[in-house]
Chain A
Amino acid sequence: MEFVKPTLQYFELSPMLIVFAAACLGVIVEGFLPRARRHLVQVVVAGLGLVAALAVTVWVATDLTERGSGEARGLLAASGTIVIDGPTVYLWGLVLLFAIAGVALFAERRLEGGVSAFAGQAAALPGTEAERQASTRGLDHTEVYPLLMFAVGGMMLFPASNDLLTMFVALEVLSLPLYLLCGLARRRRLLSQEAALKYFLLGAFSSGFFLYGVALVYGFAGSMQLAEINEAVRNDVGNESLLLIGMGMLAVGLLFKVGAAPFHSWTPDVYQGAPTAVTAFMAACTKVAAFGALLRLFYVAFGSDRWTWQPMMWVIAILTMLVGAVLAIVQTDVKRMLAYSAISHTGFLLTGVLGAQASGELADGQVTSLEAVLFYLTTYGFATVGAFAVVTLVRDSGGEATSFPRWAGLGRRSPWVAGAFAFFLLSMAGIPLTAGFVGKWAVFTVAMSAGAWPVVAVAIVASIVAVYFYIRHIRLMFFSEPEDEVAAVTAASPLTTVTIAVCAAGTLVLGVVPGPVLDLVTHAGDFIR
Chain B
Amino acid sequence: MNEFPWLTLLILAPLVGAVVVGFAPAAVTKTAAVGVALLTLALGVAVALQFDLDSGGMQLEEQHSWIEAFGVHYALGVDGLGLLMVLLTVVLVPIVLVAGWFDGDDGNTRAFFAWALALEGLSLAVFCATDVFLFYVVFEATLIPAYFLIGGYGRAGRGAAAVKFLMFQLAGGLILLAAVIGLYVVSAQQGSPSYLLSDLTELDISTEAGRWLFAGFFIAFAIKAPLFPVHTWLADTTEKATPGVSVLLVCVLDKIGTFGMLRFCLGIFPEASQWATPLVMVLALISIVYGALVAIGQDDVLRLIGLTSLSHFGFITIGVFAMTTQGGSGAILYMVNHGLGTAALFLLAGYLIRRRGTSLISQMGGLEKVTPVLAGLFLVAGLATLGLPGLSPFVSEFLVLLSAFDYAWYVGAVAVTGIVLAAIYVLWMYQRVFTGPGLPEHEGTPDLDRREVGAVAPLMLALVLFGFYPMPLLDVANPTVETLLTHVGVSDDEPDVPADSVPDHAATEEGGEH
Contacts and interface: CB of A to CB of B under 8 A. Distances in A.
Interface of A: 362-367, 371, 426, 429-433, 437-438, 440-442, 444-445, 448-449, 456-457, 460, 463-464, 467-468, 471-472, 474-475, 478-480, 513-515, 518-519, 522
A522 B303 CA distance: 52
Contacts of A456: 178, 181
A449 B185 contact: yes
26 contacts: A363-B188, A363-B189, A363-B193, A365-B69, A365-B71, A365-B192, A365-B193, A426-B144, A432-B136, A432-B137, A432-B138, A433-B137, A445-B184, A448-B181, A448-B182, A456-B178, A456-B181, A460-B177, A464-B167, A467-B170, A471-B166, A472-B163, A474-B147, A513-B66, A518-B70, A519-B68
A364 B71 CA distance: 11
Interface string B155-170: 0001100110011001
B167 A467 contact: yes
Given A472-B163, A518-B67, 10 more contacts: A363-B192, A426-B144, A431-B170, A432-B138, A432-B140, A441-B177, A444-B181, A460-B177, A468-B167, A479-B151
B211 to A, nearest CB: 14
A88 B184 CA distance: 28
Given A366-B188, A479-B162, A519 B69 contact: yes
A159 B429 CA distance: 69
A472 B188 CA distance: 37
Contacts of A362: 188
A443 to B, nearest CB: 10
Interface in B109-168: 136-141, 143-144, 147-148, 151-152, 158-159, 162-163, 166-167
A437 B192 CA distance: 22
Contacts of A445: 70, 181, 184-185
B26 interface: no
Contacts of B136: 432
A166 B192 CA distance: 40
Contacts of A444: 177-178, 181
B191 interface: yes
Contacts of B189: 363
B175 interface: yes
A250 B136 CA distance: 40
A359 B494 CA distance: 53
Contacts of B141: 431-433
Contacts of B70: 367, 441-442, 445, 518
B282 interface: no
A445 B170 CA distance: 19
A514 B159 CA distance: 33
Contacts of B490: none
Nearest to B180: A441
Contact of B68 (A432, A463, A468, A515): A515
Given A365-B71, A426-B144, A432-B140, A441 B174 contact: no
Contacts of A363: 188-189, 191-193
B457 interface: no
B171 interface: yes
B29 to A, nearest CB: 16
Contacts of B139: 432
Nearest to A375: B69
A105 to B, nearest CB: 28
B137 to A, nearest CB: 4
A441 B138 CA distance: 15
Interface string B182-204: 10110011011100000000000
Interface of B: 66-71, 136-141, 143-144, 147-148, 151-152, 158-159, 162-163, 166-167, 170-171, 174-175, 177-178, 180-182, 184-185, 188-189, 191-193
Contacts of A460: 174-175, 177-178
B163 A514 contact: no
A151 B68 CA distance: 36
B137 A479 contact: no
Nearest to A362: B188
A430 B136 CA distance: 12
Nearest to A464: B171
A147 B141 CA distance: 42
A457 B178 contact: yes
Nearest to A472: B163
Contacts of A429: 170
Most B-side CB within 10 Å, residue of A429, A460, A518, A519:
A460
Given A426-B144, A460-B178, A471 B167 contact: yes
A442 B181 CA distance: 9
A449 B140 contact: no
Contacts of B188: 362-363, 366, 449
Given A365-B192, A464-B170, A514-B67, A478 B144 contact: no
B304 to A, nearest CB: 25
Nearest to B67: A515
Contact of A471 (B69, B147, B193): B147
B170 A515 contact: no
B178 A475 contact: no
A519 B193 CA distance: 16
A440 B182 CA distance: 14
Contacts of A515: 66-69
A364 B170 contact: no
Nearest to A431: B140
A519 B182 CA distance: 22
B236 to A, nearest CB: 14
B69 A367 contact: yes
A117 B189 CA distance: 53
Contacts of A426: 144
A107 B279 CA distance: 62
A445 B189 CA distance: 13
A460 B220 CA distance: 13
B152 A479 contact: yes
A188 to B, nearest CB: 31
A-B complex: 3 closest residue pairs judged by Cβ atoms: A479-B159, A432-B137, A363-B188
Contacts of B137: 432-433, 437
Contacts of B69: 365, 367, 371, 515, 518-519, 522
Nearest to B169: A467
Nearest to A481: B159
A86 B152 CA distance: 47
Contacts of A430: 174
Contacts of B163: 468, 471-472, 475
A191 to B, nearest CB: 31
Contacts of B184: 445, 448
B314 to A, nearest CB: 26
Contacts of B158: 479
Most A-side CB within 10 Å, residue of B67, B158, B192:
B67
Most B-side CB within 10 Å, residue of A365, A433, A437, A480:
A365
A461 to B, nearest CB: 8
Contacts of B193: 363, 365-366
Contact of B185 (A365, A437, A448): A448
B192 A463 contact: no
A513 B174 CA distance: 21
A426 B139 CA distance: 15
B416 to A, nearest CB: 38
A431 B71 contact: no
A464 B68 contact: no
A416 B128 CA distance: 32
B152 A431 contact: no
A426 B152 CA distance: 18
A89 B204 CA distance: 40
A231 to B, nearest CB: 31
B178 A478 contact: no
Nearest to B134: A432
